[in-house]
Amino acid sequence: MDLLQRAAQFLSQKGVPNPRLDAEVLLSHVLGCRRIDLYLRHDQPLRDDEIDSFRELIRRRGRREPVAYITGQKEFWSLTFTVNSAVLIPRPETELLVELSIRFIRRLREEKQGPISVLDVGTGCGAIALAIASETDEGVSIVATDVSSEALKVASQNASALNLHHRVCLLQGDLFSPLVGSQGEFHLIVSNPPYIARSEFAGLPPEVRDFEPRLALDGGEDGLHFIRSLLEEGPLWLDPTGAMFLEVGEGHKAPIEVILRELDSWGHWSWESDLAGTPRVLSLRPSAKDKGTVNTIQRQADLNG
Ligand SMILES: C[S@@+](CC[C@H](N)C(=O)[O-])C[C@H]1O[C@@H](n2cnc3c(N)ncnc32)[C@H](O)[C@@H]1O
């Protein structure tokens, strides 16, 4: 299709990393069909209004607006999420956090009777909380917080669209502040906090730097501002049998281990790497002194699934 070829060429000149793929995704969005269908209907002429709409989307992509903001959608955990410029576009590496969370919840369910409480701090479009909800039953209650009311509107929209609104309670506020009165109640705290260091901003791809919300990215001077707070406050909100799983940035492992040794409030931790081999998820269990006589070797084994 000549139109696709020209669009891909234009995007390539603008420095877009996968120009042909993006052109196809945007054309199938305009035509309301699947990407594969573009090839089945390659000899079908497009209407003028379809060509105009496609050109406008290609112009936006040429200004480096992410495809997900242009189409308003992103797949995560095989679920379709609505996204807009108020929320981070969920990343594939965050699925590791979901995978570990679900494994931990299933293990806990086998071991203990009664309801399980999960907290997702900084939920954005609701990706983590809703993916967990989609894989668990009503015995697992999920609270998701965000400081941004605009992000929570998107999360609420996604909860309804996925028919999971009865499973996730959305609360607005800074980190744990909307949860006062629930200290010690959560069996799992999960978070993908903002973790980009200030010095890294200039080097980010324009799609991220110029379009994704600063609030979702900015982790302070060293990128560890929110991670530090979560490590400091996490144990207070966890049930003694609970765990906290955090997504962290590249190069964070060493400085985080320094913080953990200083804090001395986490008994055990371990790291899981993403597909690129970067330590990406930190799994933590509260210190044994808060947990009585739990066998620490067993706990480490649990953590590693
Ligand atoms: C990296 S994004 C993660 C979004 C989503 N959980 C995901 O993984 O796709 C971080 C989120 O934390 C939220 N956030 C930033 N500062 C916060 C704070 N002080 N308290 C709670 N949430 C905060 C942002 O609005 C954003 O939605």
Over its length of 305 residues, how does the chain's per-residue pLDDT go in tens digits? 589 999 999 999 999 999 999 999 999 999 999 999 998 877 788 999 999 999 999 999 999 999 999 999 999 999 999 999 999 999 999 999 999 999 999 999 999 889 999 999 999 999 999 999 999 999 999 999 999 999 999 999 999 999 999 999 999 999 999 999 999 999 999 999 999 999 999 999 999 999 999 999 999 999 999 999 999 999 999 999 999 999 999 999 999 999 999 998 999 999 999 999 999 999 999 987 644 333 333 334 444 44
CA distance 148 to 26: 29
How high is the pLDDT of residue 305? 43
pLDDT at 115: 94
CB-CB contact of 168 with 144 (8 Å): yes
Long-range contacts of 276-281 (CB under 8 A, 24+ apart): 278/250, 279/248, 279/252, 279/253, 280/93, 280/96, 280/247, 280/248, 281/96, 281/97, 281/100, 281/245, 281/246, 281/247, 281/248
* SS3 assignment, position 86: coil
What is the predicted pLDDT for the residue at 289? 60
Asked whether 25 lines ligand 1 (CB < 6 A), one says no
DSSP count for the chain of H helices, then E strands = 13, 9
Tokens of 41: 């209907």
Protein residue whose Cα sits closest to atom 7 of ligand 1: 90
* Predicted pLDDT of residue 181: 93
Strands (E), the chain: 73-76, 79-82, 116-121, 140-146, 168-172, 186-191, 238-247, 266-273, 279-286
215 Cβ closer than 6 Å to some ligand 1 atom: yes
96: its two tokens: 């590791």
Residue with tokens 């060429």: 9
From ligand 1's centre to the CA of 141, what distance in Å? Answer: 20
Does residue 219 line the site of ligand 1, with CB under 6 A?
no
Task: Output the CA 156–ligand 1 centroid distance in Å.
Answer: 15
Residue 5 CA, ligand 1 centroid: distance in Å: 38
Ligand 1 pocket mutation pick from 226, 232, 247 by most atoms within 8 angstroms of CB? 226
pLDDT of residue 45: 87
What sign for the dihedral angle of Cα 250, 251, 252, 253? positive
Place of tokens 């894989």: 135
Residue 215: φ, ψ to 5°: -60, -30
pLDDT reported for residue 1: 56
Mutate to test the pocket of ligand 1, among 76, 85, 88, 248 (most ligand atoms within 8 A of CB): 88
The ligand 1 atom nearest the CA atom of 94: 8
Closest C-alpha residue for ligand 1 atom 19 = 174
Which pLDDT score is estimated for 287? 87
pTM of the model: 0.93
Pick from 123, 132, 280 the residue to mutate for probing ligand 1's pocket: most ligand atoms within 8 Å of its CB: 123
Separation of alpha carbons 267 and 191, rounded Å: 19
| Predicted local distance difference test score (pLDDT) of residue 21 | 97
What does the pLDDT read at residue 297? 33
CA-CA distance, 174 to 122, in Å (whole number)?
9
Instruction: Quote the pLDDT of residue 50.
Output: 96
- The CA R_g of the chain, rounded to the nearest whole Å, is 21
Contact 259, 228 (CB under 8 A): yes
Alpha helix (H) residue ranges in 48-148: 48-62, 67-71, 95-111, 127-135
Specify the pairing of strand 116-121 against strand 140-146. parallel
CA distance 158 to 104: 24
